[in-house]
Amino acid sequence: MKLSFYGADYCVTGSCHCLEVNGKRILVDCGLQQGRDEVDRQELPFAPNTIDYVLVTHAHIDHTGRLPLLVRQGFQGEIWTTRLTANLMEIMLVDSAHIQQSDAEYLNRKNQRAGRPFVEPLYTVEDAERVRGFVHTRRYGETFTLCEGVEVTFTDAGHLLGSASITVDATESGVTKTIVFSGDIGNLNQPIIRDPVLLKKGDYVVMESTYGDRDHVEVWSYTAELAKVIDHTLGRGGNVVIPAFAVGRTQELLYFLRRIKQEHLVRSVRDFPVYIDSPLATRATTIFCGDLKDYLDDEALELVKGGADMFSFPGLHMTESLEESKMLNTDKTPKVIISASGMCDAGRVRHHLKYNLWREESTVVFVGFQAPGTLGRSLLEGAESVKLFGEEVAVKAQIVNFKGLSSHADRNHLLEWAQSFENPAHFFIVHGDREVAPYFADSLKHLGLSAHAPQYTEVYDLIENRLVESGYLPERKQFGVKISAAYERLSGVGKLLQEVILRSKGRANKDLARFADQLKQLIDKWEE
């Protein structure tokens, strides 16, 4: 019984893990890597025809985006997930395929002019559509037999409609082990969806750590804060551009905007228009308006029972064609534009940024995590100019970051989730930045739990509870200033020191004074 790590290892995208039981190989997620930690996407680190099953935690592309590639290269097994994940995954993979094909076409035009060889898209729309034929679904809490010696249960992870933590009870050679794959653990008190379920049973836990080094800001009224930004921006004649993931985050924004409209919180332009400029978001919203039994939180259920449409209000427009999208940037009417992708690395939002970033009267609002190496992260880090479509664009617009609006649990809630397990043997910390994953693993160690952050291609024996093959860290793509591994290690130790200081509150003054003196001596030494 072995567990191999093939993605989201020391990085936040590309989730992919492989469990081997009784000669069967079971993938948990098969996601696309993005940003600076991207490895060669054309090649999978295993033979697709050797994979018997895939279990999918949720529909986001960093968890599903290589499934069409898997099918294209010979996978003939079964894919299991929840019903809503299957529905969302179908439209997201087709959209991803369109992007792969468009990117290849753009690159080939450049290659032709430069005399370089043509490239093939990672996969095609046809490949993406074929995935549907392999998919089977199960409800939350329904335990089923995947194959001999393997039982599987999906549990609500509270991250996205249909998202799940996956519990695998595996028996091999008379030994049974319970392996839990957290998927992405949701934030608490999100609109529409329920809070993540805490689990107790688990010998091994493969756990995400996206926000393992920080807590979200204090909860505020998102409707009120968003209304203030919109009111101020529209009042000075600008546009509000919101890069947002088409699935999940866009629907949350529509939920907030419906309340803003209903409560008349924007006074500068009372009937302000809102444009959803993403065909994928439009299709996803249709799914969100469908049969959501067993998926909604209590507040959303009450709205639905009362006949309310959670995602519709006066002034809402869904753009489909490219012509409609282009017109948004020629129309001078102040407006709110919600467009994908959420990290600004693809999609129509890049065009809206090109036409609004240089305008002092406009505002760009970020409402989700921005991975290192992405355009979104560059803007948040204060870039004075960015390159869009070969043109240098000055950043004069106001940049706003709604840090607390996250579909991921923060550090405190991740720790709470981890501590809910009774007598776990070991935690594998994944889906966290290169500096964050090992830091969060160390945090669990300080709580008396066994944990480490596995490296790419690492293999672990679950029966013997030991590492059998070491992995490696793929070379990072460099964006801007190169940061050494030694510096990253030093930064991680600094975070541990901060944690020790916080835990020292209440200790004897004599001990605290001695500790402070020792730290000061060390600092003085290194400042010489």
**Confidence band for 484, pLDDT divided at 50, 70 and 90:** very low
- pLDDT for res 447: 96
- pLDDT for res 499: 58
10: which 2 tokens? 């020391």
For the question of whether the overall pTM of this predicted structure is more than 0.75, the answer is: yes
Does residue 479 carry a pLDDT above 70? no
Does residue 356 carry a pLDDT above 60? yes
The mean pLDDT value for 1-17 works out to 94
- pLDDT for res 515: 85
Across 344-365, b (16+ Cβ under 10 Å) vs e yields bbbbbbbbbbbbbbebebbbbb
- The residue written with tokens 């019984």 in the block is 1
- The residue written with tokens 């505002």 in the block is 363
H-assigned helices in 154-292: 222-235, 249-262, 279-288
Mean per-residue pLDDT over the chain, rounded: 88
**Confidence band for 214, pLDDT divided at 50, 70 and 90:** confident
The mean pLDDT value for 201-209 works out to 97
The mean pLDDT value for 260-276 works out to 94
- pLDDT for res 166: 98
- How many C-alpha atoms does 486 have within 13 Å on its Cβ side? 0
> Which of 33, 80, 74 shows the shortest CA–CA distance to 53?
80
> Which of 478, 477, 438, 430 shows the shortest CA–CA distance to 456?
430
Does residue 391 carry a pLDDT above 70? yes
Longest dimension (CA), the chain: 73
Q: How far apart are CA 184 and CA 210, in angstroms?
A: 8
The mean pLDDT value for 147-164 works out to 96
Does residue 527 carry a pLDDT above 60? no
The mean pLDDT value for 427-442 works out to 95
pLDDT tens figures, 91-129: 999 988 988 888 888 788 888 888 888 888 889 999 999
Does residue 48 carry a pLDDT above 90? yes
The mean pLDDT value for 450-455 works out to 97
**Confidence band for 286, pLDDT divided at 50, 70 and 90:** confident
pLDDT tens figures, 163-177: 999 999 999 999 999
Does residue 203 carry a pLDDT above 90? yes
The mean pLDDT value for 434-450 works out to 96
Helix (H) or strand (E) holding 324: helix 322-327
Amino acid, res. 178: T
- pLDDT for res 498: 63
What angle in degrees, to the nearest 10, is found between the helix axes of 249-262 and 279-288?
80
- pLDDT for res 496: 59
Q: How far apart are CA 445 and CA 434, in angstroms?
A: 18
- pLDDT for res 489: 55
**Confidence band for 528, pLDDT divided at 50, 70 and 90:** low
> Which of 182, 201, 194 shows the shortest CA–CA distance to 440?
182
94: which 2 tokens? 């087709």
- Give the range among 132-146, 179-193, 422-436 with minimum mean pLDDT: 179-193
- pLDDT for res 402: 83
- The residue written with tokens 């074929």 in the block is 130
- pLDDT for res 185: 97
- pLDDT for res 308: 59
Q: Fill in the DSSP letter of residue 77.
A: S
- Give the range among 112-116, 246-250, 339-343, 498-502 with minimum mean pLDDT: 498-502
pLDDT tens figures, 293-338: 777 777 776 766 655 567 788 999 999 898 999 999 999 999 999 9
Q: In this structure, are residues 277 and 316 in contact, taking their beta carbons and an 8 Å threshold?
A: no
The larger pLDDT score, comparing residue 394 to residue 483, is at 394
The larger pLDDT score, comparing residue 467 to residue 404, is at 467
Q: Is the dihedral of CA 153, 156, 157, 159 positive or negative?
A: positive
Q: Measure the CA dihedral 26/32/34/37, to 10°.
A: 30
- pLDDT for res 282: 85
> Which of 40, 419, 396, 32 shows the shortest CA–CA distance to 199?
419
pLDDT tens figures, 135-151: 999 999 999 999 999 99
